[in-house]
């Protein structure tokens, strides 16, 4: 199980609605909206 | 559909009318019918000898109409029903009339020849002297004048009773004047010969013979114009073979009802429309659709009445019988078109209706002028010229000019699979300068189809399509249908999926067992972070070909590209080129996005594309073109573009072959082949050219020869037109007009001459 970095929901990578690569790491999202937020400012959601 | 329109449109009657021989008669019968209370309008066709009567809310009884027509000097026969038997009787009657005329022509020729020899010793100095005996000439001429030409005098008397006039009036007065003058000269030679009078029998005898010859040729030619209908009607078999548990038995065609199982053996004609249940065969439908190649038929294929079964025997279930069959619909459409009147004809009719009185007046003036100022023997010259005027002025060529051409053209059109709704359509179509083609189903063959599947590097080639089809199962998108049928054609099993979800402008997605499946455009893939490095180039090249491209991804991995495209009809480029060759502007309208529509249009060779036009906006588009001064022909399938077809100056619909009576269409193409559009336009142009030639010929002939006959050239060149030559010219003018129309029967569209696609 992966965690949606935006909404903190648990997401199965296979069923993920969307995904993004950031600094060599693939992140999975529950929905396209979360990915859009993430892509706009990835640093806000990772590495904190 | 048909029942509602029948209830809405005013009731009308189609009646045969006998005894009409010229355009003037047409107007008289029409006026007579229109004067009957309850009749809204009446339109009479000289070539078909039929009257179409539109009836109001309180329609008159048939005897009233019959009495009105009889009062005008014509007849509506007792048998009026358009049944096969009635049609046969009508034909037999016509054949009898032709035979009767032929006998009269022969008798007339045999008797007139010696009269001609005897009356013109200057021309035939070798003719023996006894031929010149006036009493012999009288004896030979009398039967010609009164028996061979009897119908003219009878017609004249009948019209006199009804105080009307026609060609009969002119002919009868003219020939009788010549005849009785000659008789008077013989009986009282001293009174007349002294004044330079000469017997003048040859005018009466030879003239009558020529006039009857003209009638005979005209009747024969008129029969030829309705050949197409006769041929279509003869396609209908009279018996069908009912397949029953106790063996087959033949039943009359009228007893077949929808649902009956019928058997057809090789070489037989298919009796009614239906659907094949068992067996396969090839069927020749050329007489209905114009398609020369036989069509293969297996179970579930539709067959139409009139087509010839060729190779195998099969059983089919009757679906449409009687008046509902495609054949019957075609016959009805062609008959209606042949019975209709082209606007151009009104001019001819108007002229013809005032013709006879004017000509009589001219003849009287001619006579008076020659008596007063003519050279001696003045009375003789006056008579000759007045007779010539009377004879030459018959407007029959005028009356035949348009309807014969329309009949032959609509009949020929039917043979080529092009059905015109009316003569007016033929006339309107030739003026068209812009052709608007609907894209889907017209330029392209039906809905879009799956064309390419490009698997991602290393991916299973079938996986992408199977996943896409699974996701599209619930979709109603046209692309979905193409993907589904593509997967079905490849026999792919669709994995179970759930939670469908559509993102407008991007695509659809669903959850599969192996992970989330995405099906959509590049924007969707990008927005979901799916990378498809190996597919980018392929996607671009497919899109450049005008195909709609979708990506398929599973569990975040791109697995294939799927391309769906409209398939251009193979004959489309040749058709567009042919339309251009005719000087027409070609425009494509489509509800598709610009790229797709343009790509298809480009393949067809069309530059002007109106894309993203909703079906309901198509009519507005046509209207806009018309507002710009264009005359627009719209080509569509007649279903979702019906308003546009109706708005266009001429709407052409391609039928799927099962329903030819498309309401909105002015022209129905029986075969699904775009080249029918070219054939229709070419045929309409040829027809109108022939009509104009005919009218110029007929008008010009009268305009030029009436003054000549009146002797107006005599003071200048000493030229006079003998009544004999006038009679010959008159007969030839009718015959040449009909012959000119008949050549339309040999029309073949130029697109068909080029290679068959």
Q: Which of B503, B514, B556 sits opposite A19 (nearest CB)?
A: B556
Does A32 contact B528 at a Cβ distance shorter than 8 Å? yes
**Yes or no, beta carbons of B556 and A13 under 8 Å apart:** yes
Flag if A35 and B528 touch (Cβ within 8 Å).
yes
Interface check for A15 against chain B (CB to CB < 8 A): the answer is: yes
Distance CA(B511)–CA(B757), nearest Å, equals: 46
Nearest CA in chain A to B523: A32
pLDDT at B192: 67
Picking from B497, B505, B508, B516 by the largest number of A CB atoms within 10 A of its own CB, the best residue to mutate is B516
Which residue of A lies nearest to B525 if distances are taken between CA atoms?
A: A18
Cis peptide before B614 (omega within 30 of 0): no
User: Chain A partners of B529 at a C-beta cutoff of 8 Å?
Assistant: 18-21, 26, 29, 35
pLDDT of residue B646: 87
Other Cβ atoms closer than 10 A to B293: 10
**Nearest chain A Cα to B506, which residue?**
A32
β partners of residue A11: A2
Test the B interface: residue of A2, A11, A15 with most B CBs within 10 Å = A15
Active site residue B438: yes
User: B509: which chain A residues are within 8 Å (Cβ-Cβ)?
Assistant: 17
Closest chain B residue by Cα to residue A21: B529
Q: What's the CA angle centered on B359, arms B353 and B364, to 5 degrees?
A: 145
All residues of chain A having their beta carbon less than 8 Å from the beta carbon of residue B495 are none
B557 vs A: CB within 8 A? no
Q: For residue B201, what are the β-bridge partners?
A: none
Looking at residue B752, its pLDDT comes to: 46
Report CA A29 to chain centroid distance, whole Å. 4
| B516: nearest CB among A16, A20, A35 | A16
Q: Taking CA atoms, what residue in A is nearest to B519?
A: A17
The per-residue pLDDT for B213 is 80
ipTM of the complex: 0.75
Contact at CB, A16 and B527, closer than 8 angstroms: no
CA distance readout (Å), B258 to B157, B235, B253 = 54, 20, 12
Q: Which residues lie below 8 Å from residue B723, measured CB to CB, with a gap of 6+?
A: B174, B178, B203, B207, B384, B387, B388, B391
Residues of A whose CB is below 8 A from B516: 14-17
Catalytic choice (B260, B273, B349, B438): B438
B 431-490 → A contacts, CB under 8 A? none
Q: pLDDT value at position B623?
A: 92
Distance from CA of A48 to the nearest CA of B (A): 22
Q: Would an 8 Å CB–CB cutoff place B503 in contact with chain A?
A: yes
Q: Give first-to-last CA distance, chain B, whole Å.
A: 36
Closest approach of B272 to chain A, Cα-based (Å):
57
Q: What is the pLDDT of residue B756?
A: 39
Cβ(B342)–Cβ(B691) under 8 Å? yes
Q: C-alpha distances in angstroms, B403 versus B222, B356, B605?
A: 10, 21, 38
Rounded mean pLDDT for each run of 10 residues along chain B, 757 residues in total? 40 78 76 86 78 82 84 76 59 82 92 83 72 84 91 85 73 83 81 64 80 77 70 82 84 86 89 90 82 82 88 89 83 77 72 76 88 77 80 70 85 88 90 90 79 83 84 75 84 83 80 83 82 82 82 85 85 91 92 79 88 83 92 85 88 75 80 89 94 85 80 75 72 80 86 44
């Amino acid at each position: 199980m992966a965690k949606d970095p935006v909404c903190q929901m648990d997401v199965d990578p296979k069923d993920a609605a969307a995904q993004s690569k950031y600094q060599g790491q693939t992140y999975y999202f529950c929905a396209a909206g979360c990915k859009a937020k993430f892509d706009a400012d990835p640093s806000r959601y990772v590495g904190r | 559909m048909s029942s509602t329109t029948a209830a809405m449109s005013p009731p009308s009657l189609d009646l045969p009318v006998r005894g009409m021989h010229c355009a003037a008669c047409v107007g008289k019968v029409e006026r007579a019918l229109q004067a009957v209370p309850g009749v809204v309008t009446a339109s009479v066709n000289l070539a078909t000898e039929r009257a179409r009567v539109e009836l109001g809310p309180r329609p008159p009884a048939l005897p009233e109409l019959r009495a009105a027509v009889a009062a005008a000097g014509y007849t509506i026969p007792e048998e009026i029903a358009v049944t096969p038997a009635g049609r046969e009787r009508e034909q037999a009657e016509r054949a009898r009339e032709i035979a009767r005329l032929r006998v009269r022509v022969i008798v007339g020729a045999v008797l007139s020849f010696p009269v001609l020899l005897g009356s013109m010793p200057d021309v035939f100095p070798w003719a023996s002297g006894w031929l010149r005996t006036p009493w012999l000439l009288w004896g030979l001429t009398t039967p010609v004048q009164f028996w061979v030409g009897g119908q003219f005098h009878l017609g004249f008397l009948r019209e006199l009773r009804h105080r009307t006039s026609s060609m009969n009036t002119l002919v009868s007065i003219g020939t009788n004047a010549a005849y009785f003058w000659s008789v008077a000269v013989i009986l009282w030679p001293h009174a007349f010969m002294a004044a330079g009078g000469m017997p003048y029998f040859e005018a009466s005898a030879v003239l009558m013979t020529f006039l009857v010859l003209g009638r005979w040729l005209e009747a024969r030619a008129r029969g030829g114009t309705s050949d197409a209908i006769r041929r279509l009607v003869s396609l209908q078999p009279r018996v069908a073979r009912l397949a029953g548990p106790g063996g087959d038995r033949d039943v009359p065609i009228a007893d077949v009802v929808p649902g009956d199982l019928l058997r057809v053996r090789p070489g037989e004609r298919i009796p009614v429309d239906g659907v094949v249940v068992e067996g396969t065969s090839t069927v020749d439908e050329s007489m209905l659709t114009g398609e020369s190649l036989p069509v293969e038929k297996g179970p579930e294929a539709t067959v139409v009445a009139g087509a010839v079964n060729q190779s195998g025997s099969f059983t089919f279930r009757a679906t449409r019988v009687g008046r509902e069959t495609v054949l019957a619909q075609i016959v009805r459409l062609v008959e209606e078109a042949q019975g209709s009147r082209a606007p151009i004809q009104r001019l001819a009719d108007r002229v013809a209706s005032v013709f006879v009185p004017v000509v009589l007046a001219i003849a009287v003036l001619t006579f008076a002028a020659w008596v007063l100022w003519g050279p001696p023997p003045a009375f003789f010259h006056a008579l000759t010229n007045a007779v010539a005027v009377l004879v030459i002025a018959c407007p029959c060529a005028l009356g035949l000019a348009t309807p014969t051409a329309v009949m032959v053209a609509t009949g020929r059109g039917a043979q080529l699979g092009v059905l015109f709704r009316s003569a007016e359509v033929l006339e309107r179509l030739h003026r068209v300068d812009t052709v608007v083609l609907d894209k889907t189903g017209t330029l392209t063959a039906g809905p879009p189809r799956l064309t390419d599947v490009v698997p991602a590097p290393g991916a299973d080639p079938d996986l992408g399509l199977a996943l896409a089809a699974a996701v599209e199962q619930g979709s109603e998108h046209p692309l979905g249908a193409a993907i589904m049928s593509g997967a079905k054609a490849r026999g792919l099993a669709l994995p179970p999926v759930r939670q469908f979800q559509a993102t407008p402008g991007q695509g659809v997605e669903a959850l599969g067992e192996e992970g989330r499946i995405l099906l959509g455009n590049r924007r969707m893939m990008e927005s979901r972070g799916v990378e498809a490095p190996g597919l980018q180039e392929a996607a671009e090249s497919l899109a450049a070909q005008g195909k709609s491209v979708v990506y398929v991804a599973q569990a975040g991995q791109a697995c294939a590209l799927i391309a769906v495209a409209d398939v251009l009809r193979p004959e489309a480029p040749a058709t567009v080129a042919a339309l251009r060759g005719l000087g027409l502007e070609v425009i494509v309208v489509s509800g598709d996005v610009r790229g797709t529509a343009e790509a298809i249009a480009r393949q067809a060779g069309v530059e002007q594309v109106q894309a993203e036009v909703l079906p309901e906006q198509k009519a507005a588009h046509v209207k806009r073109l018309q507002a710009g001064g264009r005359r627009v022909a719209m080509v569509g399938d007649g279903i979702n573009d019906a308003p546009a077809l109706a708005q266009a100056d001429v709407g052409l619909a391609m039928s799927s072959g099962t329903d030819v009576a498309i309401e909105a269409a002015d022209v129905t193409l029986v075969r699904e082949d775009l080249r029918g559009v070219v054939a229709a336009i070419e045929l309409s142009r040829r027809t109108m050219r022939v009509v104009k030639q005919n009218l110029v010929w007929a008008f010009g002939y009268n305009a030029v020869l009436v003054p000549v006959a009146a002797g107006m050239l005599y003071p200048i060149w000493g030229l006079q037109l003998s009544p004999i030559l006038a009679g010959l010219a008159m007969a030839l003018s009718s015959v040449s007009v009909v012959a000119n129309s008949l050549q339309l029967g040999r029309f073949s569209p130029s697109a068909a001459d080029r290679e068959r696609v």
